[in-house]
A and B are shown apart, each in its own frame.
Chain A
Amino acid sequence: MSEKTILQVDNVSLELGGKRILNHLSMDIWTGHVHAIVGVNGAGKSTLASTIMGLNGYRHFEGDILFEGQSIKNMNVAERARLGITLAWQEPARYEGLTVEKFILAGAGNACSHTVERALQTLGLDPGKYAQRAVDRTLSGGERKRVELASIVAMRPRLVIMDEPDSGIDVDALNRIFDTLKILRDHGSTVILITHSMTVLKQADHAFLLCCGNVLDKGGIDKIEGFFGRKCQGCDHQNKPDQEELNGE
């Protein structure tokens, strides 16, 4: 294999509330590529995203996660972020009083106001209108999603995990997010899209199909899209695959 692996999820199992959510899951994420992780609700997609980011409650798992060959298992969120890993939440946090400008600058190192302007413009938000607004309930869900992505653009991460990027936004905003994906890739970022949307899936180069906390299949988009569409949508044993499927048959 000539592709370079930036992130290796190695035989990871994780239980939450006594239930096994990730089940001996392994996958390699290639540097500079856009990967999609698809699956029905409850397949373990967001849990995997939280585990890679090291969020509270997702730190104690079996197996290992390596970033450029280095284990990040014992690192907290900030330490992983300083390696260049970041996460865009499905439902971004709200902050009373914290301005968009300060929120974006928080992750942008020694950046200046021009960085904020450029990041907002990339997401189609007018800096004059948005920079001094608070990241609070006065922003719509779609606006907060774009502000969050602007903060990630300004951060210039090496690996971005985007959890359900199409959740709660309109078509125009989604297209802007897809454009931003390209910009992130042009900047050398590796992207993981967490989704159950065919529209989002099509933005990726490769995909992993998750079921019951494990990788059921992986490969090109057409292959995964076909399998997901045919077998997962309407599947009567969602997240309880039979042994044949787990064996990849």
Chain B
Amino acid sequence: MENNKLIRQMYDSLGEGHGHEPGVAHVEIHGNKVLGLHLVDGLEIIAEEKEEGIDATIRVKAGIKIEKPVKICFGLIPETGVQRINIKTHIEKNASIGIVASCTFPFAKEILHTMDAEIRLDEGAEYTYIERHVHGPEGGVTVIPRAKVILGKGARFRTDFELIKGRVGEIDIEYDAECHARSILEMSARISGRGTDKIRINEMANLLGEDAVAVLTTNIAVRDSAHARIENTIIASAAGTRGHVDCKEIIQGNATAQAIPIVDVRHAKAHVTHEAAIGSVDSKQLETLMARGLNEDDATDLIIEGLLRPQY
């Protein structure tokens, strides 16, 4: 009963019902305790409660395509606590899966959420990982995701991080991807910070195989005294590799932001570009909306809403 209540509270905080469509795999983890686990054919998830956190493995067997996105709900309902997740994910040859991971800490005052992930995609595998966060109105949460991703030949990995409600608190993301021939990597994050929030994103794509492609996109808005530091790197070491690092940050008030796109090209037939823009809201965008009658604050909010709009 207690488990069901926690599951309901977690889904309620996300604005979602806790009923699931038939054929949808789902996992619920509260703190370091597994509350629910429902699988579908071809999907293997093992989650073990350990003293230091949850050790989990996700495996999709070769050739299996999980049709409906798997829902994973991580969270902590109390104001304080620690959640540590260690996940090893293996998507085997030509298999595919999409995961929507909701991480909810709606009343957080002093919560630590860490995620250490090893993700391996074999040849031709596809994996989409959408991460949606709900935090408390005062922040009060430190989120530290770490991931090491290996994309085999022709594999495709796409991930998107979004804070949909509440304050950031502190987010410190580090993803490191190794991309083999013809693989495609897309990593994006969209976060709005305020108050004394701190956002740090450090993503690295190492294009090792011919014709591998990576796109790293970060859209950030910070105001008050919030701070953002984005350091995204693409290393292109093989012929035909292509990449783009894109970082846009809108700052208001006393907020500060740094963008450090690093493009390291080590092959004459590789092509990597970068674009970074930090500043207040573009004056032409602002004045266009004001010329339709919006005041400056509403026009600014609309521009930021667009910047942070989900890509997938």
The 8 Å CB contact of B219, one of A76, A87, A96, A98, is A96
Q: Is B15 an interface residue (CB 8 A)?
A: no
Q: Is A92 an interface residue (CB 8 A)?
A: yes
The 8 Å CB contact of B291, one of A86, A109, A134, is A86
Q: Are B308 and A89 in contact (CB under 8 A)?
A: no
Q: Are B290 and A77 in contact (CB under 8 A)?
A: yes
Closest 6 CB pairs of A and B: A107-B292, A98-B306, A97-B309, A97-B306, A77-B290, A81-B293
Q: Are B291 and A76 in contact (CB under 8 A)?
A: no
The distance in angstroms between the C-alpha atoms of A152 and B283, with both chains bound, is 19
Q: Are B307 and A106 in contact (CB under 8 A)?
A: no
The 8 Å CB contact of A89, one of B282, B288, B303, B306, is B288
Q: List 24 A-B contacts (CB under 8 A).
A: A77-B287, A78-B290, A78-B291, A78-B294, A81-B291, A85-B291, A86-B291, A87-B291, A93-B284, A93-B285, A96-B219, A98-B305, A99-B306, A106-B289, A106-B292, A107-B289, A107-B291, A107-B292, A108-B292, A109-B293, A134-B309, A152-B292, A155-B292, A155-B293
Interface residues in B263-312 by Cβ distance below 8 A to A read 282-285, 287-296, 299, 302-303, 305-309
Q: Is B248 an interface residue (CB 8 A)?
A: yes
The distance in angstroms between the C-alpha atoms of A80 and B290, with both chains bound, is 9
Q: How far is the CB of B58 from chain A (nearest CB, A)?
A: 30
Q: Are B308 and A97 in contact (CB under 8 A)?
A: yes
Q: Is A194 an interface residue (CB 8 A)?
A: no
A93-B306 contact given A81-B290, A81-B292, CB 8 Å threshold: no
Which among B219, B292, B295, B309 has the highest number of chain A CB atoms within 10 Å? Answer: B292
Q: Is the interface of B mostly helix, strand, loop or mixed?
A: helix
The distance in angstroms between the C-alpha atoms of A240 and B295, with both chains bound, is 40
Binding site for B on A (CB under 8 A): 53, 55-56, 76-78, 80-82, 85-87, 89, 92-99, 102, 106-109, 134-135, 148, 151-152, 155
Q: Are B302 and A102 in contact (CB under 8 A)?
A: yes
Q: Are A96 and B293 in contact (CB under 8 A)?
A: no
Write out the residue numbers on chain A whose beta carbons fall within 8 Å of the beta carbon of B290.
76-78, 81
Q: How far is the CB of B206 from chain A (nearest CB, A)?
A: 27
Q: Are B306 and A151 in contact (CB under 8 A)?
A: no
Write out the residue numbers on chain B whose beta carbons fall within 8 Å of the beta carbon of A151.
292
The distance in angstroms between the C-alpha atoms of A73 and B299, with both chains bound, is 22
Q: Are B283 and A77 in contact (CB under 8 A)?
A: no
The distance in angstroms between the C-alpha atoms of A30 and B288, with both chains bound, is 24
The distance in angstroms between the C-alpha atoms of A56 and B299, with both chains bound, is 15
The distance in angstroms between the C-alpha atoms of A95 and B309, with both chains bound, is 11
A95-B295 contact given A77-B290, A102-B302, CB 8 Å threshold: no
The distance in angstroms between the C-alpha atoms of A151 and B282, with both chains bound, is 19
Write out the residue numbers on chain A whose beta carbons fall within 8 Å of the beta carbon of B292.
81, 86, 106-108, 151-152, 155
The distance in angstroms between the C-alpha atoms of A55 and B291, with both chains bound, is 9
Kindly report which residue of chain B lies nearest to residue A91, judged by CB atoms.
B284
Q: Are A96 and B287 in contact (CB under 8 A)?
A: no
